[in-house]
A = this chain, B = another copy of it.
Amino acid sequence: MERANNGGLDGIMHKSKEKEGYAIGWLELVLRFLAFLLTLIAAILLGIDKQTKIVPIKISTDLPAFNVPVTAKSSYVSAFVYFVVANSIACAFAALSLALAFMRKGGGKGIIRLIIIVVDLMMIALLFSGIGATGAVGLIGFKGNSHLMWNKVCNVYGKFCHQVMGSLALSLFGAIAFVLLVSLSVSKLYNRA
């Protein structure tokens, strides 16, 4: 009788664990999809960021001001190029890992699982270094730095700077999705260990 009871209890616990496994499996799929989408939009938004403005330049007080077109492009700044490349790599890996996660939904053990966690970890490093680089250059562009005599440029290229900020925020959320993915994988392994 006791044995039968235990069997029933085991069955319920097994089912509950299975259900939990599926729930975490779905959460992983959602996070991977978010990571993919956010890094994709971040890369595109900064990659195509460009603004041309007509700025009046006065050479002499006797002559009228010249109207000179000046252009800001993301490819002009190494930090922005690095950001676009970092987000593109993270986006490609998110898509690949999403496809792999679909194939073994509900979790699973295998060397691929371990490799995915380690590469997720590398994506965190890559994305956060890109966010730091773009954030630092963006901040100087926004506020300038009198000590270095680097003037702010965001008063001229307002739209360009706003697009950088938007891209930065999206990439940050994408990077947080990767942090949550690794935390999820670790807690999953921890519960099984």
Number of copies: 2
How far apart are A60's CB and chain B's nearest CB, in angstroms? 21
The residue on B at minimum CB distance from A137 is B136
The residue on B at minimum CB distance from A78 is B139
Are A132 and B121 CB-contacts (below 8 A) given A147-B72, A189-B190?
no
How far apart are A139's CB and chain B's nearest CB, in angstroms? 6
Confirm or deny: A122 has a beta carbon within 8 angstroms of a beta carbon on chain B: yes
Q: Identify the 8 closest CB pairs spanning chains A and B, nearest first.
A: A132-B132, A129-B132, A133-B136, A192-B193, A79-B136, A132-B133, A189-B189, A76-B147
By a beta-carbon cutoff of 8 Å, the part of chain A in contact with chain B is: 72-73, 76-79, 82, 109, 113-114, 117-118, 121-122, 124-126, 128-137, 139-141, 145, 147-151, 153, 175, 179, 182-183, 185-187, 189-190, 192-193
A-B contact pairs, 29 of them (CB 8 A): A72-B147, A76-B148, A77-B147, A79-B136, A79-B140, A109-B190, A113-B190, A114-B186, A117-B186, A118-B186, A121-B121, A121-B124, A121-B179, A121-B182, A121-B186, A124-B124, A124-B125, A125-B128, A126-B128, A128-B128, A128-B132, A129-B132, A129-B135, A136-B136, A150-B150, A150-B151, A185-B186, A186-B189, A189-B190
